[in-house]
Amino acid sequence: MQLRRIPYVSHAILIAMTVFMLYPIAWMVASSFKESSTVFVDAASLIPNQWNFDNYINGWKGVAGVTFTTFFANTFLVVGFATVGSVLSSAVIAYGFSRIRFRGRNIWFVCMMLTMLLPYEIVMVPQYILFNQFGWINTYLPLIVPTFFGTPFFVFLMMQFIRSIPYDLDEAAEIDGCNKFMTFVRIIMPLILPAMMTCVIFSFYWRWDDFLAPLLYLNKVSLYTVSLAIKMFSDPDNVTDWGALFAMSTLSLIPVIVVFFVFQRYIVEGIHTSGLKG
Amino acid sequence: MNRRRTFTVLFAVLLALATVLSACGGSKSSDGGGSGSPSASQPAGSASTAGSGSGGGSSGDEPKPVTLKVLWWGGQTRHDNTLKIIELYQQQNPHVTIEPEFTGFDGYWEKLSAMVAGNNTPDVLQMNFGEYLTQYAKNDVLADLNPFVQSGIIDTSKLDAGIMESGVVDGKLLGIPLGMNALTVIYDPDLIQKAGAKEPALGWTWDDFKEIARTVHKNLGIYGSPTLEANNILEYYARQNGQKFFNDEGTGVGYEDWIFIDYFKLQVELIKEGVMPTLDVMQQHSALEDQLIVHGKAPFDVRWSNQVVALSKAANRPLKLTVLPGPNTEKGLFLKPSMFFSVAKNSKNAEEAAKFINFFVNSLEVEQIQKGERGVPINSDIREAISQQLDEVQKNMFEYIDLAAANSSPIDTNYPPGSAEVLSLLGTDIEDRILFDEMSPEEGEKKFREQTAEILARKR
Amino acid sequence: MATEQAAAPAAGTVFRARRRKRKTGGYRNLTGYAFISPFLIGFFGLTIIPIAMTLYLSFTDYNMLRPPEWIGLENYERMFTKDEKFWHALRVTFFYTFTAVPFRLIVALAIAMLVAKIIRGAGFYRTVLYLPSIIGGSVAVAVMWRQLFGLEGAINTILRWIGLPGVSWLGNPKYAIWTLILLYGWQFGSSMLIFLAGLKNIPHEYYEAASVDGAGKIQMFFRITIPLLTPVILFNVVIQLINGFLAFTPAYVIFGDGRPLGATLMYVLYLFQNAFTFFDMGYASGMAWVLLVIVGVLTALIFKSSEYWVHYETKGGR
């Protein structure tokens, strides 16, 4: 494919957008270097008067002797398992819904979509009671196990991608002797890699930011995730440590950005062939 | 064919796994505060480390090992402090193991209500005054601590009697206050002096307040005062005129209409003169560290006394505290508990929990660690001893509480179910509309009265 | 394409008999259910009980501190006839959704198309443009957004630069909701990502063939890009619609309680208040189910309409 000369207009727009996208974040990062109590007094200036690394040092100390090292490690653990679980299971389910015409398919699809329509804040109390019966409180189980049963958002996304793959490929595979599962693994999965990578990115950052579920289910501080730990800096009764809050929030962005940067490549490279040329 | 079988087997295994997971951990007892019955999936840390038998037993027999779950909210400092205190308690009481649980303020109530709903209430929990206490009391979640007071386990001899009343609902003592607060006017003495106005002091009145505000506005060009949050101050205004916010039956407001109207007229007037900012300006400054006084844009701020610490730090200059304007300041002002410790009604270790709370409010060592972080201590001896060790701002706060204590009357404890909704109505709807000039104070009064009655009737 | 369509049946005729035997309904049902079994296990084991419970709770008076008490339709009655805040929240949320969602999607698509063409620095741009969405609705975002829209904040400064008067974004009920709408639009990265994936999914060959045939850029956009993007467009529209209606965290963190004057009282925010501040989980559950019905119906309508405008590459597999 010939490299097209990108008009300067596109670049200009993109650069303008970059500034617009980044300014608020730059503000947050800058504030993380300011002294806590001056954050609001000094709000207009982007560049801090003095570069204060204390916020990072103090913030990292965390709470009750549990440092952010632990919090980050915990969060990686939970998010990692949850991402693997949800993306893989969702792919399998998506294949079932989009490639196999079985009885009741539409009903189950509707059921699945309906589960997305209830806000988590409402479901969480009955869910807590249920998980309490299982004895899963104060473990990571409520955060990880449900992901292995598919995430409707991901299922739906992958369905849309699977549906844009011509059925010819499946037929060709079957002629060659594959059963449905092999067709799925050998043919379809590689083709929906961009969708799967997209889901990996989403899953990672949703779980990373998740607050309510860890709040309800984790009792011991040593199990806490980063999102929980950051909320503890905010104290309406007393002095809120804004500096530490911004510092840790900034740091919290980094893994998500890295994951994004690494995986977004596959969204591009994932399509070498459309498969049509078989 | 081979693959298909593996595939089906795989799913069968997953299914079995899920069933197994749901079945295991069924040993979790479904009642009580989770004392000493660790479920299969809980980390081993919950096993009591008691082992070493007696520790100076109370009535001569060896105390049984006990596990207490304690839940609180707060910031970093409070967590660190409280854990040190727990450590101390465990040292002095080796048969007790405490499982601490804590969160930020955000999410505390959601977590606690889920725990209660799931029958997982902690033994000792931090509680707030107001509708929280009322609701938890009404629904029988909290234990009556009177028996422990009577038997001497909780020593109330040095505890401020007035503030202890705030934890009583329907004759039952459901919470022990951990600290005291009072409404205060925080002011910047320099700004007021520069404007040539009179410095506020005990005995000043609303007329004085208006005068100072107007003078500052005229001479310095800044605002004379922020608007006064009705949720906090309307009650004070009612009380100083001998009335109450809620009526005794809990069916509606407890004041005559002119109180509400006067209160708002005062502000509407000052807003029209430009002495008080319009509401959209006030909306900009919601964080504590972002208030007008911090930016030097107003000489006053009216808050709870414990918030002066953050405010002073942000303002970075000395601020002073005084009582709210009179007449009859002493009728209006009241000491409010910053928070309580309560015990779960179905706790299996209520007595031990009570002992812990007693330790918390009656030991000097505790306050030496806390240094007033949960509010001014309610034990008078401790209060005196500690104030020596505090910094300037905190000393001021302590002194103010003494002043307030001497010039106040008991808090009104009749916060009926539904009061949270009423306060939300007042603070985010009625007050805003009046100050935005969308509703006259008279209309607001009527509307608020009607809607409050409706809400309280529904919630009763 | 056309030639391949002809080839397949020919190649398949020989094996037609065998293929038909494998494709019996029974086989299809078995494999179908096998593939979606994770969903079914999760649904019946973990999801359906809490969901059913919330429906039950909507007919009760429940404050979480003591067992629920059956009150029948009282919650719903109050909701529809006596609660003006309910209708207000619904109006606010409808306005928000039908403004913010198109805004976000159009920007996302436009930018995705820009980025798709760029080779050098694509990763960088993608990351930067995606950054806002990963900040989500944290406390940090809330503070930052409030600063941005403050009376002396960056937005007003820019407005004054270009000669427009500053606006009280946070204090004026007319403008407050726009801060939330702009926030939603600012976080378009996730939708952009999906559009990107969809765009990359369109084989270059189509564009090449079309340009050989003499098609112009606009023609290619409307004849190739859009139709082949429709599955992804459907996805984004449905998902963003649901997101819009269920939006909660930003309103909660930035404004807290629907101020000023209820201008930012999103439906789920009001629901949350009822559940946890007003101790009325039963009523909140009722609100949740009403929302479910509304969004469910809207989603169903969109799906129904999709038969007319969404183009899937598959044939027979549907």
Q: Minimal Cα–Cα distance from A53 to chain C, Å?
A: 18
pLDDT value at position B35? 36
- Which residue in B117, B284, B424 is closest to C170 by CB distance? B284
Residue B91 to residue B443: CA distance in whole angstroms: 61
CB atoms within 10 A of CB B151: 10
Give the integer Cα–Cα distance in Å for C211 and C207.
6
DSSP-assigned states of every residue in B100-119: EEEE-STTHHHHHHHHHHTT
The pLDDT mean for chain A works out to 83
Burial class (CB in 10 A: 0-12, 13-18, 19+), A13: middle
φ, ψ of residue B31 to 5 degrees: the values are -140, 160
Residue of higher predicted confidence among C137 and B198: B198
Give the pair of three-digit tokens for residue C183.
Answer: 């926030």
DSSP B227: P
Cα–Cα distance for residue pair B452/B253, rounded to 1 Å: 7
Half-sphere exposure of B361 (CA within 13 A, CB side): 32
Partner-chain contact B280 C260, CB within 8 Å: yes
Query: For an interface test with B, which of C278, C280, C281 has the most B Cβ atoms less than 10 Å from its Cβ?
Result: C278
pLDDT in the model for residue B222: 92
> Which of A235, A241, A246 to substitute to test the interface with B, most B CBs within 10 Å?
A235
pLDDT digits (tens, 9 = 90+) for B368-391: 888 888 889 999 899 888 888 888
Of A66-75, A234-243, B272-281, C98-107, the range with the lowest mean pLDDT is: A234-243
- Confidence grade of residue C206 (pLDDT, cut at 50, 70, 90): confident
Identify the pLDDT of residue B29: 34
Contact B142, A273 (CB under 8 A): no
Comparing CA positions, the residue from B256, B239, B283 lying closest to residue B427 is: B283
Q: What pLDDT score was predicted for residue A6?
A: 56
Model pLDDT, residue B301: 92
How near does any CA of chain B get to the CA of C64, in Å? 5
Mean pLDDT for C144-148 is 85
Nearest chain B CA: its distance from A136 CA (Å) = 7
Dump strand ranges (E) for chain C: 60-61, 69-70
Report percent pLDDT > 70 for chain A.
Answer: 92
DSSP state of B199: P
The residues on B that touch C, with CB distances below 8 Å, are 7-8, 11, 14-15, 18, 22, 106, 109-110, 113-114, 116-117, 131, 135-136, 139-141, 278-284, 286-287, 417-418, 420-421, 424, 427-429, 432-433, 436, 438, 458-459
Question: Which whole number is the average pLDDT over C98-113?
Answer: 92
Separation in Å, CA C211 to CA C206, C220, C221, C223, C237: 9, 8, 12, 12, 30
Positive or negative torsion for Cα A164, A168, A172, A174: positive
Least confident residue range of A172-176, C36-40, C216-220: C216-220
Contact residues, chain B, for A139 at CB < 8 Å: 41-42
Residue B244: its pLDDT value, please? Answer: 92
For residue B137, count CB atoms less than 10 angstroms from its CB and return exposed for 0-12, middle for 13-18, buried for 19 or more: buried
| Position C3 pLDDT exceeds 70 | no
| Contact call for residues B225 and B197 (beta carbons, < 8 A) | no
Residue C25 clears pLDDT 80, i.e. is over it: no
The pLDDT of residue B95 is 92
Cis (ω within 30 of 0) for the bond into C260?
yes
| Residue of A65, A181, A211 lying closest to B7 (CB–CB) | A181
**pTM recorded for the entire structure:** 0.85
Residue-level pLDDT at B446: 94
Name every chain C residue with its beta carbon within 8 A of the beta carbon of B458: 78
Closest by CA to A138, choosing from B105, B96, C275, B69, is B69
Residue A5 pLDDT class (50, 70, 90 cuts): low
Residues C56 and C161: their CA atoms lie apart, in Å, by 56
Cβ distance A234 to B106 less than 8 Å, yes or no, reads yes
Cβ neighbours of B433 in C, within 8 Å: 261
pLDDT per residue over B222-239, tens digit each? 999 999 999 989 999 999
Report, as ranges of residue numbers, the positions in chain B whose pLDDT lies below 50.
1-59
Q: Please give the single-letter amino acid code of residue B127.
A: M
Q: How far is C129 from chain B (nearest CA, A)?
A: 28
Contacts of C63 in chain B (CB under 8 A): 135, 139
pLDDT confidence band for A1 (50 / 70 / 90)? very low
Instruction: Please identify among residues 3-42 of chain C the ones whose CB lies closer than 8 Å to any CB of chain B.
Output: 34, 37-38, 41
Chain position carrying tokens 């060959």 = C205
The mean pLDDT of C277-293, rounded to a whole number, is 93
* Position A51 pLDDT exceeds 70: yes
pLDDT confidence of residue B15: 43
* Residues in chain B closer than 8 A to C143 (CB atoms): 287
Asked if A105 lies within 8 A of C32 by C-beta distance, the reply is yes
For residue B437, give the nearest of B284, B211, B270, B210 by alpha carbon. Answer: B270
Residue B294, chain A, CB below 8 Å: the answer is yes
pLDDT of amino acid A268: 61
Name A66's bridge partners.
A63
In tens, the pLDDT along C152-193 reads: 788 888 888 888 888 888 888 888 999 999 999 999 988 988
Nearest CA in chain B to A36: B314
* Chain B residues inside the 8 Å CB shell of A231: 103-104, 106-107
Q: Which chains touch B (3 or more CB pairs under 8 A)?
A: A, C
Contact B283 C37 (CB under 8 A): no
Chain A interface, best mutation among C13, C57, C144, C268, by max A CB count within 10 A? C144
Which residues of chain B are within 8 Å of residue A232 when distances are taken between CB atoms? 74-76, 79, 102-104
B-chain residues near C273 (CB < 8 A) = 424
Mean pLDDT of A151-155: 92
pLDDT attached to residue B10: 43
Nearest Cβ partner of C38 from B14, B418, B438? B14
Instruction: State whether residue A69 is helix, strand or coil.
Output: helix
The pLDDT of residue B142: 94
Percent of chain C with pLDDT over 90: 38
Q: What is the pLDDT of residues A154-197, one digit of tens each?
A: 999 899 888 888 888 888 888 888 887 888 888 888 888 888 88
Our CA-based measurement puts residue A35 at a distance from the nearest CA of chain B, in whole angstroms, of 10
Chain C residue numbers touching A115 (CB-CB < 8 A): 43, 47, 51
Task: Provide the CA B310 distance to its chain's centre, in angstroms.
Answer: 16
Cβ contact (<8 Å) for A221 and B42? no
A177 by Cβ neighbours in 10 Å (0-12 / 13-18 / 19+) ranks as exposed
Specify the pLDDT at position C121: 73
Answer yes or no: do A276 and C271 touch at CB < 8 A: no
Token pair listed for C255: 């404004």
pLDDT of residue C314: 59
Using one digit for the tens of pLDDT, what is the confidence trace for A119-148?
Answer: 888 888 899 989 988 889 889 999 999 999
Assign C299 a pLDDT band (cuts: 50, 70, 90).
very high
Q: Tell me the C-alpha distance between B233 and B183, whole Å.
A: 8
CB A203 within 8 A of CB A82: yes
- Amino acid letter for position B114: A
Q: Which of B248, B181, B31, B176 is nearest to B118 (CA)?
A: B31
- Contact residues on chain B for C166, CB-CB shorter than 8 A: none
**Burial classification of residue A76, based on how many CB atoms lie within 10 Å of its CB (0-12 exposed, 13-18 middle, 19 or more buried):** middle
Q: Closest Cα of chain C to A133: distance in Å?
A: 12
Q: What's the mean pLDDT when you consider all of chain C?
A: 84
Which residues from B are below 8 Å from A228, CB to CB? 103-104
Token digits for B255? 């004041």
Residues with Cβ within 8 Å of B215's Cβ and at least 6 positions away in sequence, in order, are: B195, B196, B197, B224
Is residue B65 helix, strand or coil?
Answer: coil
Residue B294 CB contacts under 8 Å (≥ 6 apart), including other chains: A40, A41, B311, B314, B315
Chain A residue at shortest CA distance from B111: A216
Rounded-to-integer distance, Cα A123 and Cα B109, Å: 16
Burial of residue B232 (number of CB atoms within 10 Å: 0-12, 13-18, 19+): middle
